[in-house]
Every structure is written in C-alpha cells, then in structure tokens.
Amino acid sequence: MKTVDEIVMRGSPERCFQIGADVERWPEWLPHYRWVRFNRKDGFGTGLVEMAARRAFGPLPWPVWWESEMTVDPARPAVIYRHVRGITTGMDVEWTFEGRGDGTTLIRIVHDWDEGPRWPLPRFLRRWIGSAVIGPVFIHHVASRTLAGIKRAVEAT
C-alpha cells in the first residue's frame, strides 16, 4: 500500500518544516487530533511519539491510534516516521518539503506499507485490506486533513 497526499502552501520550506515537525502542538492546530505525546523524546521532532486522531464517518467519530519512531532531517528537510505500535505497525511515512521558487512550498506525505495489518490472515488478504481499506479510507482521510491544518497554521503566521 502506498498513499501520497500533498498540498502547496505559502511559506518557506524551513517554516513549513518547523510547523509540520512540531507535532506536540498539532492538537492546537488540527482539531481531528485527540493527542500527540512523546513517550521518549530525544530532541525536537525525534523520539517515540504516540498519536491519536479521529476519522469521521458522517456524524460518528472513529478513533485511530498509533505509535512511531520519529526523526527529522532539517537539511533536506524531511520528517520520517516508522510505525511501531497500532494497526499500522511496520508502516513507513515520509514528509518532504519542496520550495517552488515563488514563495510557496509543496509538502508531500508518502505512506508506504508492504505487509498490511499484522492479523492472522493470508498475506495477500492483509495487503488487500491495507490497499483497499486502510490506505484510502483511514490514512488518506487523516493525512489530507492534517495537511490542510498545517497549511492554516503556516499561513496564519
């Protein structure tokens, strides 16, 4: 399963990176996030981070939760996650920030997950569930709302 979400916003890559990597402040900017907390913090945007969000199904909020090893690379810039707990264990996520030369930045989030959920099912079925349900229904929904909220935060400052 691979999902790609992207958005262009007014702001430098450095500013977009700072806001995107400041995950502890996400619940202030992103109303669909229930909490974000570091269970082990090694520095800015680095450590073992636990996140919980809501995925709306009409009027019903569906809770989603995961824990990731998070690292940042300010030189690129990039934010990198490896999901280590939750249904999406084993998923790799990378945020990149590309200046477009006109005062805007393209932020791209790539979620890559070869195996799908670690359920006691045949591999082909786990991969199908990841690609047909979890990626487009849950991952894309949360990621697209996250990018929209990051854009609001960047452009408000």
Residue-wise pLDDT for 3-54, tens only, equals 999 999 999 999 999 999 999 999 999 999 999 999 999 999 999 999 999 8
Whole-model pTM: value is 0.93
**13-21 and 140-156 are packed helices; what angle lies between their axes, rounded to 10 degrees?**
120
Length of the chain, please?
Answer: 157
Count structural domains, the chain: 1
- Cα–Cα dist 146/157, whole Å: 17
Q: Which domain holds residue 90?
A: 2-156
Tens digits of per-residue pLDDT, 76-108?
999 999 999 999 999 999 999 999 999 999 999
- Amino acid identity at 14: E
CATH at 35 = 3.30.530.20
Six-digit token string for 18:
């700072």
Assess contact for 6 and 101: CB atoms under 8 A.
no
